[in-house]
Each structure stands twice: as C-alpha cells, then as structure tokens.
Amino acid sequence: MATKKYNVILAERADTMLLLHTEFLAQASPAAARRLISEFKKVKQRLNKDPLQFPFADELDVPGIANKTYRKCFFYGRYKAIFLVEDNDVFIDAIIDCRQENADIF
C-alpha cells in the first residue's frame, strides 16, 4: 500500500522569513545558519509524509482565521513553521523565531 504524499508549498513570505533568519544567524555563525537550513529541509520532508502529526497552532489569534486551521512544527531549537493543510497540499505561511510576537506574522 502506497503512503500518501503531500505537496509542500512554501509561501514567498515564509521563504523571505527563512532567508532573514538565516542571514541573521550567519552573521554570528555560518555553521549555525547551515544547520537551520538543514533542519528546515527535514521539516519539509516530515510535512511531505504526514503533516497531520503536528499540533494546531492554538496560540495564534488571527482575525478571520478559525482556530484549528493552522498547525505548527518546531525545529532547530527556537523556530517554528506555521502551516495549513488542504487536501494533499501543505502551505507553509510563516517561519518564525519563537521569541517573536505572534501578532507580527499575519
């Protein structure tokens, strides 16, 4: 029996966020920046296999977006990917440093 695969789609905004986090880390440690990217690639692989394994991002309070819509996946210590699942597609909408205020992501 074939396992279901999901299409992982990185929003342009999320891509920009990841780039900014990587550039910030690279100023202090290029190795840390490379590890961040490596860990993010692992997140994408996990999302490709089973995005429903991750919890809902209940802490998000975004007007017009129902609770239990977005999910979160923590990686590389203090980062998390915020995504939603629709059919066979996983849309990564934000990559945030957990020290950021959630209000700033949407």
Token code pair at residue 65: 């977006």
Q: DSSP characters for 3-68?
A: PP--EEEE-HHHHHHHHHHHHHHHHH-HHHHHHHHHHHHHHHHHHHH-GGGSPB-TT---TTS-TT
Q: What is the dihedral of CA 53, 87, 75, 15, to 10 degrees?
A: 180
**Domains, the chain, with CATH or none:** 7-99 (3.30.2310.20)
pLDDT at 106: 55
Count of other CB atoms within 10 angstroms of residue 4: 9
Per-residue pLDDT of the chain (106 residues; tens, 9 = 90+): 457 899 999 999 999 999 999 999 999 999 999 999 999 999 999 999 999 999 998 877 665 565 678 999 999 989 999 999 999 999 999 999 988 765 456 5
